[in-house]
Amino acid sequence: MKKILLLTGDFAEDYETMVPFQMLTMVGLEVHAVCPGKNKGESIATAIHDFEGHQTYTEKPGHNFTLNYSFKDVKLQDYEGLVIAGGRAPEYLRLNDEVISLVKHFVTNDIPVAAVCHGIQILTAANVIKGRKLTAYPAVKPEVILAGAEFVETEIDGVAVDGNLVTSPAWPAHPKFMAAFLKVLGVQIILEPDQQLA
C-alpha cells in the first residue's frame, strides 16, 4: 500500500485538506495528514474560500479536521507522494525549516508532489521550482515567476503537470487535480466487468 503525506495546518482551505484526504483514502492509499507542532488526534481549524463575484475570494470558518499522524514521527523515506493543501496555512508553514527540508526531499528526489492554490507558496519558498511549469491561485503568480518557474494559465478547475509536479489553482479543480496526481503516482482504478460505481 502506497503511503502519501498530506501537509496542512491551521486555516488551510477546508476542501483542499479534506477532499484530497478522503479521495486518496477512498482508492486505498494510506494518507498521513500532518501539521508541524501538532500530534495525531489533535485538530486544525480550516477556512472555506469561495468565489462569489468579488475581486478576490471570501473566507469563512470551516470544519475542524483531525490529524491522523504526528509531524514529528514522519520518516520521509516511507512516502511515495506529497500533497500540500492551500489556504492560509502555507503563509506560515513556509517559515518552518523542517517543512522546507521536507518539500526539497520530495521535489529533488522526483517523488510525486501535488500542491493546490496557495500551497504553491511553500514550493516557491523551498526554491525548488526554477525552470518548472506550474499553476497556482492567480494571486500567487508573481511568486511563481520570481522563483524562476513558468506560470501556466488555467481555468479555476484546471491542472498543470510537469514531471512529478501536479498543481492546480483551487479546490474546483479537485477531480482533474486528483486524477492527475493518481496518474503520476502510477495508481489505476480498475472495475471488474460486472462491477459499477454506486
How is residue 109 written as a grid cell?
A: 528526489
Residue 24 lies in a domain: yes
- Give the pLDDT confidence of 37-68 residue by residue, as tens digits: 999 999 999 999 998 899 888 999 999 999 99
Residue 190 lies in a domain: no
Residue 194 lies in a domain: no
Q: What is the mean pLDDT of residues 106-117?
A: 97
| H or E segment to which residue 6 belongs | strand 3-7
- Give the pLDDT confidence of 71-107 residue by residue, as tens digits: 999 999 999 999 999 999 999 999 999 999 999 999 9
Residue 195 lies in a domain: no
Model confidence at 181: pLDDT above 70: yes
Quick one: which of 150, 132, 83 has its CA closest to 112?
83
Residue 197 lies in a domain: no
Residues 89 and 9 sit within 8 Å (Cβ to Cβ): yes
Residue 75 lies in a domain: yes
Q: What is the mean pLDDT of residues 164-185?
A: 97
Annotation marks residue 32 as catalytic: no
Residue 50, number of CB atoms within 10 A of its CB: 13
Residue 23's pLDDT is: 97
| H or E segment to which residue 26 belongs | helix 14-26
- Of residues 32, 35, 49, 117, which has the active-site annotation? 117
Residue 148 lies in a domain: yes
- Of residues 32, 35, 49, 118, which has the active-site annotation? 118
Residue 196's pLDDT is: 64
Give the model's confidence band at 197: pLDDT under 50 very low, under 70 low, under 90 confident, else very high.
low
Range of the domain at 169: 3-185
**Domains held by the chain: number:** 1
Annotation marks residue 117 as catalytic: yes
CA 91 – CA 133 distance, rounded (Å): 22
Model confidence at 198: pLDDT above 60: no
CATH of the domain at 119: 3.40.50.880
- Give the pLDDT confidence of 145-163 residue by residue, as tens digits: 999 999 999 999 999 999 9
Residue 192 lies in a domain: no
